[in-house]
Amino acid sequence: MRLYILCEGPTEEHFVKEILAPYLLNSDILATPINLGGVSRYAKIRKDLETLCKGDPTAFITSMLDYYKLPNDTPGKETAGDILEKANVIEAAVNANLGGQRNLLVNLIVHEFEGLLFSDVSAFNGEAKANDKALLELAHIRSSFPAPGHINDSEMTAPSKRIKKILPVYSKTLNGIPIAKRIGIDKIAEECQHFRAWLENIKALGQENVQ
């Protein structure tokens, strides 16, 4: 099965290339990232997803877009409730907004890529000058929430901003991918419910495609 993944930016693109694609290949799914280059306007997200869906109807299309700072006009954005419920509603609303494309599986990362890194904070060891004190502070943040996807309660407390406060030299592009590699897809899926559901849906599509 061929799968195109519309990615928020270069870090997500590298995450797909270096970590997710090799993992999915074990399930006979060929994943290819496409860098959206930011999401300042919903119209751009919609146009790119629609172009991909209609441009290759024999392939499946999904996305790695951060819930954090989605454009305000994104369908379903004003939904109230738990973050995981919000993400599900927005994904369904975007799919409906595109006319319910048969080969589209809209996916959001909650709240953002760095949230996935809280799946195992020990993987920060040695990255961005992380020492024992920094690891303890990161572990305290993780233990304060039921799951990595819940780590955020205001614009100033996004996972990336929490990390930067503890590790000022942290770079998403330089440190984020090595940390994610150490954690591994299986651990991320174990800790992050929404990410796990996304993987399961992708694999299910792959099984249907084989049949």
Residue 97 pLDDT = 97
Buried b / exposed e along 64-90 (16+ C-beta atoms within 10 A) = bbbbbebeeebbbbeeeeebbebbbbb
pLDDT at position 206: 78
CATH number of 2-110+192-210: 3.40.980
Report the pLDDT value the prediction gives residue 207, as an integer from 0 to 100: 80
Structure tokens at 102: 């048969």
Task: Flag residues of the chain having pLDDT under 50.
Answer: none
- For residue 157, the tally of other CB atoms under 10 A from its CB is 13
Predicted local confidence at residue 40, as pLDDT: 86
Q: Which helix (H) or strand (E) holds 32?
A: strand 30-35
Contact 70, 41 (CB under 8 A): no
